[in-house]
Amino acid sequence: MSSLPAAAKPQPSASLYVGDLLPTVAEANLFEIFSNVGHIASIRVCRDHLTKRSLGYAYVNYLQAKDAERALDTLNNTPIKGRPCRIMWCQRDPSVRKSGVGNIFIKNLDPSIGHKELYDTFSDFGNILSCKVVFDETGHSKGFGFVHFETQDSANRAIELVNDKLINNRRVYVGKFESKKERNIYKESSWTNVYIKDLGLDVNEKELAQAFTRYGKISSTVIMKNDDGTSKGFGFVNFDQHEDAVKACMELHNKPLGKEQKPIWCGRAQKRSERETELKNRFKLLKMEQFTKYSGINLYIKNLEDDVKEDQLRKEFSAFGTIRSLKIMTDDKKNSKGFGFICYDAPEEAQRAIAEMNNRSLPGSSKPLYVTFHEPKELRRQKLAQEQLQRKQNLRPNMLQPVYPPPGYSYPSNAGPPQYMYPSQVVRQAPSRGWTYPTGIPFQQSTQPSLPRSQGRNPASAVPRAKPAANRRSQPMPQQELSLTLDQLSAHSPDQQKFLLGEKLYIQIHKKQPERAGKITGMLLDSGWGLEELYSLLESEEKLNQKIQEAVNVLLNNT
């Protein structure tokens, strides 16, 4: 949001909506145009919160309402980077837009008619809140548009006097605007066009009309044909009355027709977009049904070496239970894609496989496997979008970072189950036996060695010494040192996951940076990374060392 110094706040009526903007239009471009009319308080181009790409509209706020009114009168439909903009008063109340009061729909418009011409045509009937002609991506009119009047009376007059009249030698339709939901309800209760498929190639239009005309008056019959005049095997019959069309579908669906006595299919004729939407919904429903059916028993495995075969994978995983199916995904050339799926008979078997095989390497392989429950693509996309949003929010500058207390400190007894601990919350107590889990977070006792009482006031001495880097470089850390698996973490809430990861990360980071361990731990946990990415820092010392050094560099640069 670009703001300018102002002596007074702009009035609510001094705000304008500017639409139909190209993605490349920025605040500076709008300021250059709109500042010629009057003093501007602020300009904001609305953008996608993840991609930061322009949504194609902006808000321009003037200090005085008269300047906003002058801009609306003089700058509406002004080309900005070659595309005419659409300006209207900013309407903060969404109920006005959603109610449909005063909103009309116009179709069969001449391609030469734009926002301005449509506005000039309908402005005689009353005050217009917004006016829009719909264009395609190339800037050409789609032949329809909308006009939103301040009152329903103005809209009614426009419908009465302009509907079925000529505009630029085209007879236009003008009617009350209906939402998509209302249009769908209307279609379901008023359709008259019947779609027929699986027609025998010997059936002609006369025979088709004879079969359907017994159910009511028909306005048209057509069988779609190829370029050589042969039937494509489908056609349409349009009735005058909706009830007749419904009766015909009920009576003739799956009934034989023609010399071949081939059963035909009958139903409501749909637009291509409707059919595609229906097929997508059916596919999503089928995928969700499959996910529900195999939830808890179907596993996803990745990090497979290229030479791993299904027989080898089955041999390793059959030790945990009966395998229904196993599949390694391959490309067109039958080369492994590095991931696959295993479906067990029982959830207990799948859980054992995850607990035993996640982060373990197959014999002869150097890559640790990643094993988890399979999730639909749509669910994974939602989770990814949430993680990206969280990452954007957590990367704000100068954000207060949580500091985790070292061994020897514990939480205040009256603090309840805390989510994070900041410096003001950490209190010194009597010598303690290591890290204290907050009340209410159930988890197995860590296998880290307990701190002797004599070492309670010296946190550094209580932490086990790290193994030489030469022996552990690029190798997973011992499982007993981690004392928790990714699957176990997933069973907790996001806040509990962060705390448990923070407890383990702090111990490892303290070995490298004892004085900065708390700060670095907080920086890593609030970096916006997902659970798997954070957990990988516990598995790879090399990766953790890299992140520690990056955090140290940030801290040094900010001091």
pLDDT at 476 over 50: no
**Does residue 284 belong to any structural domain of this protein?**
no
**Does residue 462 belong to any structural domain of this protein?**
yes
Count CA atoms within 13 Å of residue 309 on its CB side: 2
Residues listed for the chain: 559
346 φ, ψ (degrees, to nearest 5) = -135, 150
Domain-ending residue, one of 177, 212, 242 = 177
Alpha-carbon Rg for the chain in angstroms: 34
**What integer pLDDT is reported at residue 315 of this predicted model?**
92
**pLDDT band for position 353 (50/70/90)?**
very high
Own/partner contacts of 357-365, CB < 8 Å, gap of 24 or more, are: 357/301, 357/316, 357/317, 357/320, 358/485, 358/486, 358/487, 359/476, 359/479, 359/485, 359/486, 359/539, 362/304, 362/305, 362/308, 362/312, 362/313, 362/316, 363/316, 365/305, 365/308
**Domain check: are 246 and 361 in the same one?**
no
Segment 282-295, tens digit of pLDDT: 777 777 776 677 77
Amino acid at 531: L
**Domain check: are 447 and 553 in the same one?**
yes
**Does residue 512 belong to any structural domain of this protein?**
yes
**What integer pLDDT is reported at residue 415 of this predicted model?**
40
Structure tokens at 296: 């808890």
**Domain check: are 149 and 113 in the same one?**
yes
Residue 256 near residue 268 (C-beta atoms within 8 A): no
Structure tokens at 477: 């850390």
Closest CA to 172 of 234, 109, 216: 109
**What integer pLDDT is reported at residue 93 of this predicted model?**
60
Segment 387-424, tens digit of pLDDT: 777 776 665 444 434 444 444 444 444 443 333 333 33
**Domain check: are 494 and 542 in the same one?**
yes
What CATH number is given to the structural domain containing 261? 3.30.70.330
**Does residue 279 belong to any structural domain of this protein?**
no
**Does residue 184 belong to any structural domain of this protein?**
no
Residue 422 near residue 465 (C-beta atoms within 8 A): no
Segment 25-79, tens digit of pLDDT: 999 999 999 999 999 888 999 988 778 889 889 999 999 889 998 998 889 888 8
**Domain check: are 334 and 204 in the same one?**
no
pLDDT at 482 over 60: no
**Domain check: are 550 and 417 in the same one?**
yes
Q: What mean pLDDT do residues 428-456 have?
A: 35
Round to whole Å and give the CA distance between 360 and 228: 64
Lowest mean pLDDT among 21-30, 222-231, 374-383, 438-447: 438-447
Segment 355-374, tens digit of pLDDT: 999 999 998 888 899 999 88
What CATH number is given to the structural domain containing 428? 1.10.1900.10
Segment 490-511, tens digit of pLDDT: 777 777 787 788 888 888 888 8
**Domain check: are 13 and 83 in the same one?**
yes
Domain of residue 338, residue span: 293-375
**What integer pLDDT is reported at residue 31 of this predicted model?**
92
**Domain check: are 502 and 416 in the same one?**
yes
pLDDT at 461 over 80: no
**Does residue 114 belong to any structural domain of this protein?**
yes
**Does residue 398 belong to any structural domain of this protein?**
no
pLDDT at 440 over 60: no
Domain-ending residue, one of 63, 89, 115 = 89
**Domain check: are 336 and 361 in the same one?**
yes
Amino acid at 324: R
Q: Provide the β-strand partners of residue 407.
A: 409
**pLDDT band for position 480 (50/70/90)?**
very low
Segment 304-342, tens digit of pLDDT: 998 899 999 999 999 999 999 999 999 988 899 999 999
**Domain check: are 107 and 80 in the same one?**
no
Query: Between 166 and 137, where is the model more confident?
Result: 166
Round to whole Å and give the CA distance between 540 and 477: 6
**Does residue 36 belong to any structural domain of this protein?**
yes
**Domain check: are 160 and 227 in the same one?**
no
**What integer pLDDT is reported at residue 314 of this predicted model?**
93
Closest CA to 125 of 106, 107, 152, 105: 152
- Total domains present in the chain: 5
503 φ, ψ (degrees, to nearest 5) = -60, -40
444 φ, ψ (degrees, to nearest 5) = -65, 150
Alpha helices for 173-224 (secondary structure H): 180-190, 205-213
**Domain check: are 153 and 265 in the same one?**
no
Total-model pTM: 0.36
Q: What mean pLDDT do residues 413-441 have?
A: 35
Domain-ending residue, one of 177, 211, 232 = 177
DSSP 349-399: HHHHHHHHHTTPBPTT--SBPEEEE---HHHHHHHHHHHHHHHHHHT-TTP
